[in-house]
Chain A
Amino acid sequence: MSSTLLRTVPALRGALRASAVKPAAALASTSFVRGKATLPDLPYDYNALEPYISSKIMELHHKKHHQTYVTGLNTALENIAKAEEKGDFTKAASIAPLLNFHGGGHVNHSLFWENLAPASREGGGEPKGDLKQAIEDDFGSFEDFRKQMNTTLAGIQGSGWAWLVKDKESDTLSIVTRANQDPVTGAFVPLLGIDAWEHAYYLQYENRKAEYFDAIWNIINWKTVAKRYD
């Protein structure tokens, strides 16, 4: 069931394969656990993004929030499989919103951690090469892009994400938002995601979310974003 389901959700399948499923374990195990999601390790320490994102935020965000999405995703997948076994497709369909929410939460956070990096390492600065050119072509300049992204983030009503995406057909870049944990799927490849949920910044920035949106540019991992673009 899991593999059938995952075949229809490319972004979800990609994230599970890329960041969650351990290949050795998958080989050794039965097909039932093949698609089980696990919490990916952060590619840096909890305090590595300070002072822009506090250690406390990173620890809660990764260890508690992301873990809850992973657990919720696995539960949703199991319950859908159980419903399918019983031929109860109404029940299976009723679980779809939970699959979208927790699956999206897992995918989004997995992408987010990797498109951030400590300011002392790859974080910050400006994109280079083809990505830089594409941003200038589609937004005018890097600064225009940054401003547009911040305006978009500030305009999100409620919980959600803003993404720099590439259209698979035309290769053009654009900024899109997604409500809650809806993942970026379909025609778009997600390149850079910024979490605008309050839990992503509130302990440090409280209601001053514009300060968080300004600060996060110091820790964007443009190498990762460029890799996703290519």
Chain B
Amino acid sequence: MNVAPDRDAFAPHRPEVLNVVDADDLDGDVRRKAAHALSHRAAVALGAILKREALRFLGQRGRLLAALVRPLVWLIVFAAGFRAALGLSITPPYQTYITYEIYITPGLVGMILLFNGMQSSLSLVYDREMGSMRLLLTAPPPRWWLLACKLVAGSLISVLQAYVFLAVAAAWGIRFTLGGYLAAFPAIMLAALMVGALGLVLSSFIRQLENFAGVMNFVIFPVFFLSSALYPLWKMAEASPRLRDICAVNPFTHAVELIRFALHAKSEPLALAVTIVALAVFGAGAIWGYDPARELAGRKIQ
């Protein structure tokens, strides 16, 4: 450890990035290679994080099963019971009367994303207790990039689960058009990133694993029930206009609506905009939450 800064004098004008390149395979334009190496290294880190999350996901088959059983129970039991109780009028994107199962499916996709996002957040808190978060955060790539890699990895797993659910639902008779399934991919991915980023923010503030049950109660349930996942907003308004307003500002409502419209191969600019803005806000919150300059964040990782 050299505490004195005087060694800087050796190469004051060279980009210090040069040092990240190994001398053993360098010849030619050193500077260009250094810049190239940096982006290459970022990509290698992304690949490694994706691979690790995939391996871990495959190692916990129960997780896929649990993630599927929950929404399927809702779809098959809850929706069947509610179909009789709830009359649905024709509102966009629907052009004809639909069954309640059709209505609730995008909401249940949202539920998968939400639970999975929180699960990733839980695994981050767990990683922190087990120390592997420390390994990640002390790696050379910038922290925002490492967090983004984590977020993308978790979201891809969410999307995979959402499509497995849609496939099972299709086998149950709840089908959308091929165009709808394709258009839903970017919508589901965006929604997954948004709730995943929310999970990241939460994980930076939760100290211990035990507090996670509280998060379930205080985040997942209000976010899910105060949204258009189970009932359309106009139905909420019949019960209470204030309730409807709360649901209308919930970003999760917009994520669900984005998926709903996409599954019918339609677009919803407002839902898209709100989801993107929410992703940006939560993303910034996560970067702030994990900022090494916030001493508290570091101490928690310690």
B and A form one assembly: no
User: Which residues from chain B sit less than 8 Å from chain A, CB to CB?
Assistant: none
